[in-house]
Structure 1
């Protein structure tokens, strides 16, 4: 059923309805809208454009339940309705963190876009409110959204107009992929072991199952075709010989780290816009030097990010012990080599503000972003236990970022 959006300027009414995945008209209209909306801070900074490779549902279709809504305004180019807004939403069950063993049904809002010519007319708020109605119908107890910390209009929409509260401040860390491989460990004292999906699931559930936002259906994530594998970094002596995950869980080494790799390249592509000519020239120069001097000097180079490029995402990063950051670095370098072989241009991950493994993640600050997660309680259900309302709970050290929603 359509919902009429409020109009502050007396314009034509705007109807919100479900996106029709079988309609070529809807798919083309959403593609045009996505191309008109750049993602990221403006004001002279770099912006990213997302190409969804012909599948507007790609960022939610792997979740247990999902919905996509569009907003239509009358008076389009040919006299008909014009798609001027879009939002996606999905629902899953996640851990509430802090070792509580409590799980909650949580909804995630993403991909909110409003056409530049139709902003400040209440369309974004109407899309959010309509999506929240579906969240409640599906039994979700909380809804959350991620936005760039510097995106003041987006932050204001959710916190001042939609009733969300600032909740967590993770960082998106991005590293370019060079023309040469990286050695996982300079000291050669760290080994990287690939785990089978069932072994990875068991390790995650036993060691990271109480991390905030850990998905209860981690098995579905790990077995997804876009998940390229799970890797465990341990001291070399603990891997030779490797006795299996049972032996590891029974007597883990003092320090270890684990992470999985998700293939975003086959779901969507990105493109950096707004870069000065000087930056483009410098990037070309680093690639030329890398090509001419590799493999001898292995010059760090900036890949071509100014045309559509693919990305790999490192998720489920966790570990323990004083050398865990070094183990995490080995995993990141291993992920870099996988991305290079697959033709991806960057490797990204997202970590909590206080995550001790953050120190081991190699990244280029210019390519990353500081996120803000905002949360809203939709219904009672979290219980009156020790933690009470999750929206008021203090952050833990780590956070689990679901790759299906990145």
Structure 2
């Protein structure tokens, strides 16, 4: 047994001691060595293929659809909404209240389309609008910072020029490149969900734009991870060069035999749903 396989085995033993039933790992589809180790030698199954969509934060505001109205929810109202509408979603945390109440959580936003007037969470749950979307923001900069290295002086100068022009003439809406070449903070959007067909995707765009605008002066980029079949992903603003559509999650049921439940069902081999809930504490 090689060192890498021994390390995975010891981690799985610790997971079981902590009461875990499953173990999962994340990589990208081009990492052949990682896939050979986990799926070929350690018994993991290819599980989900989400995409990480990233949008830079500019000096100018990101435009949101005019038909959408965005309101900010308190932590308790957000928890009630999430438990009512997202409790069935994969990876939904049982302690969602602790996530929303964490000091790194920057708020939850709800967008509606079609002139719906917000009358509180009770009214929303009793009679929701035809189209809506919700999401929360998490400040990863409070835990770690990122930095891009190896860029040439020419690229750095060109990026700095776009930022200078964006600051001086916000009305031009220059797609400026943030200063990724020094340690920077990023925000993560979690709990993205909605209902209502195409207009729900529009509402999701409005929520994401609101979070990007809120991050101005606080972060250099905002990211969200969405499932492969999520109907909301089509209108999420993002830059392809910053995003990653090659993510791959692999999963394994722990315990003797790894055969699944008594009825033969095994989550690691189940069909994917339309959406996932990515716990920001695991980013």
User: Which TM-score bucket, shorter chain as reference?
Assistant: over 0.9
Partner in structure 2 of residue 90 of structure 1: none
- 1:220 counterpart = 2:98: yes
Give how far 1:168 is off: 0.4
SS at match of 1:336: helix
* Residue of structure 1 equivalent to 2:88: 210
The two structures have a TM-score, normalised by structure 1, of 0.65
Q: Distance in 2 between matches of 1:249 and 1:384?
A: 36
Equivalent residue for 1:273, pick from 129, 136, 149: 149
Match of 1:148 in 2: 28
For the Cα contact (< 8 Å) 1:141–1:381, is it kept in 2?
no
Equivalence for 1:253? 129
- Secondary structure of the 1:373 match is strand
SS of 2:38's equivalent in the other structure is helix
Q: Tell me the distance in 2 between the aligned counterparts of 1:391 and 1:319.
A: 25
1:128 and 2:4 are equivalent in the alignment: no
| Partner SS for 1:126 | helix
Instruction: Name the structure 2 match of 1:340.
Output: 216
Once residues 253 and 381 of structure 1 are traced to their aligned partners in structure 2, the CA distance between those partners, rounded to angstroms, is 43
Superposition TM-score, scaled by structure 2 size: 0.93
Alpha-carbon distance in 2 for matches of 1:233, 1:382:
39
Partner Cα distance (2:128, 2:260) in 1: 33
* 2:272 is the counterpart of 1:395: yes
Compute the displacement of 1:170 (Å): 0.2
Q: How does 1:7-406 map to 2 (within 5 A)?
A: 122-185=2-65, 187=66, 189-235=67-113, 237-239=115-117, 242-275=118-151, 279-292=155-168, 294-322=169-197, 323-341=199-217, 343-369=218-244, 370-379=246-255, 383-385=261-263, 388-406=265-283
CA contact (8 A) 1:142 1:378 kept: yes
Alignment match, 1:65: none
Residue 310 of structure 1 and its aligned partner are, at CA, apart by 0.3
Name the CA distance, whole Å, in 2 between partners of 1:282 and 1:146.
34
Contact kept in structure 2, 1:208 and 1:214, CA below 8 Å: yes
User: Where does structure 2 lack aligned partners over 5 or more consecutive residues?
Assistant: none
The change in CA–CA distance for 1:274 and 1:151 in structure 2 (over 3 A counts) is farther
C-alpha RMSD over aligned residues: 1.8
Q: Distance in 1 between matches of 2:219 and 2:276?
A: 25
Based on CA coordinates, which of the two structures has the bigger radius of gyration?
Answer: 1
SS in 2 for 1:305: coil
Q: Deviation of residue 198 (structure 1)? A: 1.2
The runs of 5 or more residues in structure 1 that have no matched partner are 1-5, 7-121
Superposed CA deviations along residues 149-169 of structure 1, whole A, max 9, x for unmatched, are 222222222222222111100
Does the CA-based 8 Å contact 2:186-2:222 persist in structure 1? Answer: yes
State the 1:277 CA deviation: 5.2
* Cα 1:136/1:232, change in 2 over 3 Å: same
Give 1:278 deviation, angstroms: 5.1
CA deviation string 1:307-329 (max 9, x = no partner): 11100000000000020110011
More strand by share: 1
Paired with 2:148 and 2:202, the residues of 1 have a C-alpha distance of 31
Shift of residue 124 of structure 1?
3.0
